[in-house]
Structures are given as structure tokens and as C-alpha cells.
Structure 1
């Protein structure tokens, strides 16, 4: 596809996709219609004349070309890992251990955000892991699932986008390098961190919500329902998963710690840290040259 300057019309596809998602509560079709609107604008601008078949052809071709099976495999293996940790009783053991040390609702929320900040390798891994691990703890202090989800999600992506060692760092850095303004992907990424206002303000907002118990709108309603005990039966959910009662902390810490360790090693390996080219024999250069999607698949297998 040849480049085309659509001007302000380039704003329409994301607006259409987001609006439809909010109205229909259905993401896949909303995203597809957003992409389709973009291809229609492209065909109009390029003067193809065909506004029915051509936009659909371009939309499907673009989506197929953008599929990254490494990410699909990683998410599948990651889901299996989280499920296995839960079945082994590691999640329950951590919940029991944390409950003895976490003495208030405020500390429980801050601990959720803190764990999210610690797991900075990937936002998918962050959300799945922190949600599974902290849910028993937040349930004990009657923190709504909606608020737990907000704390996790508002920490996961922002912390990954400002962490130099993450799947996002490699992806974003590779795009920034195309401008030719920096010597490496890593240098380009690090230079953007102070200006990533969304990520920084999102993390600040999470801290404010945790410290000030600041709720409004639907979140406040969810919290009021949680205080009345509308949380779901955690014990029944664990029984349905066949959770072992013999689990210990090591059943959670060893797999998660191993995944983080393997992810760092795999990122360095894919970036050529141990390769023949001396240009990548530094941490910064290796991380900048790494393939995050491949590294995460290797790490999840490890």
C-alpha cells in the first residue's frame, strides 16, 4: 500500500471503533468496522473507484499480514501457566500468606499496584498474573472486582511502556529507530520515557485512588455492592478449578520467577548479546535489537 495523507479523516477509524465498542460492548466487530472505515477512506483518497470489494480486500490483507503467531502462542502458554499455578495451589498459598501481612484495604490495593509494577516484562503476563494472585486478597477486604481490574490494567500497560526491559520497549523502540534520530532502539525508547505522560499520570492516578479510596460513577456503585458481599464465591471458584489444598508459596514464586528470568535471558539472546557481532555485546544494544515476541515464547516454554 502506498502512503496517503488523509488529514483529519485519519481520526475517524479509531473514533468509530471506540464508539461502537462502547455502544455494542462487542470488541471484535467494532475493531473490524473501524479498520474497514479506514480502508474506505484510503480507497477514496487514492481514487480506486471500487468502494465495496477493494476496502474489504485491503482490510483482510492488512489484518492477515499483521498477525503475530508468536504472541498468540505466548498468550496461550501464559494462560496455561497461570491456570497450572492456580491448580497447584500456589495462588491460594500466596493469598493466605499475604492476608496475614496485609492488614487493611488500602495496603491490599497498594500491594496490587506494587506487584503490577514489579512484573514489568509484559502487560498480558502482568494482568493475568496479578489478577490471579491478588484476587483472593482483595476479596477478603471487599474490594470490588471492577476496582481490582482497574488497578491492574492501569498499572500493567503504563509500567511496561516505561520499563526499558519489556516487550513494549522492543516494539516501540524499533518504530522510533526508523526516524534515524537515535543510535539504537534502546536509546530511542529511553528518550521517550519522560514524555510518556499517559503512562506516568496513569500510575499517579492509581496511587491516588489507592491512598484516597477515591471512587466515583460506576466504580463507586461496584464498591458499594462489594461492601454488601457481592463478590462471588472464591472458594467455590477454586474448587471448580480443582485447586490443590497442598500448595505452597514456591508453587507460585518458582514459575513466575523463572518466567521473568527466562524472558530477560531470551531478550538478550534474540538481541545478539552472545552472538558474533560485537555491536550487540552490550545490554542496551542487545535489548534494542531483541525480538520481544520470540523471546516471550521461548521464556514461556522455559
Structure 2
């Protein structure tokens, strides 16, 4: 079972069960048990080996991993800050201000998209920050939590993967072999990251045309019929708009400083790195924890002396923030454990073998890579893991630095990984988008899936065109592919609208 299709069965079963039963916790756990059973069968380790692998090598090991612990701490601190802003009245005050300046439902959605695009540093940070800031506004204009979760998710990973200064750029650069500038290669691949750009375009088209389809349309109708979506926040302070804006700006600045600090920006002598290099080598997990804790302390220092919120009430927000993040923490823990089961079954080896078999059809390879990367990221819930598997293969298949297919294929790998991650129920980014919007996770996944698959179909055709036209040169291929993709996206969205009528 190791290194074969069976290595992908545990996540596939977990995802299928989650979508069918609408219950994610038991679905993930069943996937973990299947993975543990497969591993124990191959290792002939019996029941003892099965339980050891599931709990000791799986759950406990994942929860003791320093990166994972950092992300969980960051979640708790973010939850605490959101609770602080809500209790202080900052969120409510911002909602009232926005209601005067944002005049429509479309305006609330456009504002959410723009804020998501601006916060391009890290997808985790994006999901939780945009959710906490825009939720009061979208609630007032009857945007469903499911639609908000989609807008958050679609401006997280898709924006980070086309931003040269982001934790994702650093991750991709790290998977490039020695002797080559990974960040430069990432920048060359940006223009061909069709899925990311088309996803952003899709959001603006949906909002502009007032179009929703699939199960999203049902949730939007329910939200529209309600008087106003409840924000589930109790105001006990006398905060103003500043009491929401200041913590958010502090969070952005201090998390950025925290990340470049871990990358060596403030080091002295030969260890010092410039801003871009520091970002490329940063430890996002540690940097986000340092920045969020600093922002939390600074927020308390602003709230308490001004008596915006009593000190005792501020301290009460700590367990409240923790409780708000418990669902996300539980799903993340189970998703990480499921990924560990998949890794132990050598899913990477199986996928690498598939890629070698189709490597001879080089002209069609970008489109194939896009689909394989999407399937792998969807099954494992990780874009970064997909980068680690497929980018070295792309470089090996296309060793010539100036080969247009090399750039297009690496772009296809990144785009496919983001597409799969974008709609996977076990993806940490998808989980955090649900948490940021305070939306039922399975509802978020089921409503988002038709939108993702629409853009995936358009992107697949565009990669076919890019592969077929690469003989004309990288510039000509890019222009032809972009024109074809944009026309296809616009026509397909208008066709959706006509069919709905």
C-alpha cells in the first residue's frame, strides 16, 4: 500500500465523508484511522503498531511540532484580539462607520476583496484579519458568512502566490535547487499563474454581475431574507473606530517586523540580510507569534489607560478568544495528523512516479502538472507540500533555464497547488477562512467548490494553450494565453448568468 494509489485513499475518504455527512471532525478521524491501518498492514506491526502510528507518530508528534505549535498560538492570540475589539466596541463602531461610507452590498464585498489583496504577507494572517475587520460590515449588508468565507479564502493563498514579498514566495524559493535564485524564478513564474489571477477576476465579476450559483445562491437568499446577520459579539466598552483600526494596523506592522526579524533583517555583520532576503528566509510561524503578541500587548496598553475596556474585561477576552478558535484548532490538528498518515504512506513517491510517466508529452505537461498539483493539494490539504514534490520534478524535466516550458510548468505547479488547497476541506487555509468568517466549515467548502472548479476549468484550458504556443517564445505565449483565458473566463461567467435566468 505504501507508494501506491492506496496512499491517497485516507484523505480521499476523509474529504468524501466530510462533503457527504457535513461533519468534518469524524470524517478526518476516520481518514486518520484508515491511514494508520494501511501503514500497520504494510509494516506488519499489528494493533500496537496501528495505535502507536496514529497517536504517537501522528497526533502527538504533529501537536509537538514547533511550526504547528506556533500557528496554534498565533490563532489563540488572534482570537483574543478579535474578542478584545468586539468587547471594546471597536468592531461595532467600524460597522456603523462603514454603513455610512459603504452604501451597498456590492460595496461591502468589493471592500473585503480589496482588503484581502492588500494583506498579502501571509495567508493565515490574511484569513483572520480580513474576517475580523469586514465581518461587521458584511453582516450589516446581508452578505452570507459563506460568501464572506469565499472572499477571504480567494484573497489568501491566490494573492500570496503572486506576491514576491510573502511567506509563500519564501516557501517556493526554498524548494529550488542550489545554485539558482529561487526568488527570481518565483517572480518569472508570476505572469503565468493563471489560477490566482483568474480567481481574483472571478470575484469582481461575481460581485459586479450580482451572480451566485450552486449552494452559495441558497445561503445568499437566506441571508437576504434575514433582517441582519448576528455578529455574535457583546459590546461592553466604549470604543471608537480607532479602537479597531489601531490594533489591526499594529498587527500588520508588527507581524511584518516579526517575520523579517526571524529572517535576519536585524542581525549584524555578515548575518544581516536585506528586506527581501530576510522575508525569503523568515520563519513565518515564529514571526507571526512574535508580532501578534507584541500587537496584543500594545492594544492592551492603549485600551486600559483610556478606560475603553476595564482590565478585568480585557483578561476575560483571553479565554473567550481561545474558545472561539477551538473548532479551527481541532480541525487543524486532525488535518495535520491526516497529512502525517499520507506522508508515511509515501504519497509523494507515488505522485512523482505518475509525473515521470507523462513527462514525455512535454507540450501538454503544464496542463497535466496543473491537474496533478491540484489533486495532490486537494488530497493532502497542503500547497507547500505539493511545491516540495513537484517543483524539483519540473526543474529536472526542464533543466534549461531559458526554456519557456520550464517557467510555464513551474507556474502551473504553483497554480494547481493553490487551486487544490483552495477547495480542500483539510487545508489549513480553508479552515482559517471558515474561522475568520465564523462560518460552518463544511458549508464554506461546499459553497466554494463550484466557484473553484469554474476557475480551474478556465485555467486548465489556458495552460493547454500556453503549452501549445510556447514555441513562439515566452512573451508571445503569455500574451496569447492571457487573451484566451480572459475571454474564456468572461464568456463562461456570462453564460452562467444566462443559464441561471
Q: What's the TM-score once normalised by structure 2's chain length?
A: 0.52
Query: 2:45 maps to what in 1?
Result: 50
Number of residue pairs aligned between Structure 1 and Structure 2:
289
Residue number among 2, 12, 17 corresponding to 2:14 in the alignment: 17
Query: CA offsets per residue over residues 242-285 of structure 1, 9 Å max, x none?
Result: 343x3222211211111111111111111112224636522222
Q: Cα–Cα, structure 1 residues 287 and 233, in superposed 2: closer, same or farther, change >3 Å?
A: closer
Residue 64 (structure 1) aligned with residue 69 (structure 2): no
Q: In structure 1, how many angstroms separate the alpha carbons of the residues matched to 2:248 and 2:21?
A: 36
Residue 242 (structure 1) aligned with residue 238 (structure 2): no
Q: What are the ranges of 5 or more consecutive residues in structure 1 without an aligned counterpart?
A: none
Q: In structure 1, how many angstroms separate the alpha carbons of the residues matched to 2:83 and 2:21?
A: 30
Q: In structure 1, how many angstroms separate the alpha carbons of the residues matched to 2:221 and 2:164?
A: 39
Is the partner of 2:264 in helix, strand or coil? coil
Q: What are the ranges of 5 or more consecutive residues in structure 2 without an aligned counterpart?
A: 295-501
Q: Cα–Cα, structure 1 residues 40 and 200, in superposed 2: closer, same or farther, change >3 Å?
A: farther
Q: Cα–Cα, structure 1 residues 300 and 98, in superposed 2: closer, same or farther, change >3 Å?
A: same
* Per-residue deviation, 1:81: 0.8
Give yes or no for contact 1:90–1:250 (8 Å, CA) kept in 2: yes
* Per-residue deviation, 1:144: 2.1
- Report the aligned-residue RMSD: 2.7
* Per-residue deviation, 1:23: 2.5
Residue correspondence of structure 1 range 135-146 to structure 2 within 5 A = 135-146=135-146
Query: 1:251 maps to what in 2?
Result: 243
Q: Cα–Cα, structure 1 residues 283 and 233, in superposed 2: closer, same or farther, change >3 Å?
A: closer
* Per-residue deviation, 1:300: 0.7
Q: In structure 2, how many angstroms separate the alpha carbons of the residues matched to 1:180 and 1:96?
A: 53
Q: Which has the higher contact order (CA 8 A, sep 6+)?
A: 2
Q: Cα–Cα, structure 1 residues 115 and 53, in superposed 2: closer, same or farther, change >3 Å?
A: same
Q: What's the TM-score once normalised by structure 1's chain length?
A: 0.83
* Per-residue deviation, 1:51: 4.9
Q: In structure 1, how many angstroms separate the alpha carbons of the residues matched to 2:269 and 2:154?
A: 39
Query: CA offsets per residue over residues 56-86 of structure 1, 9 Å max, x none?
Result: 3223314433332111111101110111112
Query: 1:262 maps to what in 2?
Result: 254
Is the partner of 1:11 in helix, strand or coil? helix
Q: Cα–Cα, structure 1 residues 5 and 117, in superposed 2: closer, same or farther, change >3 Å?
A: same
Residue 79 (structure 1) aligned with residue 79 (structure 2): yes
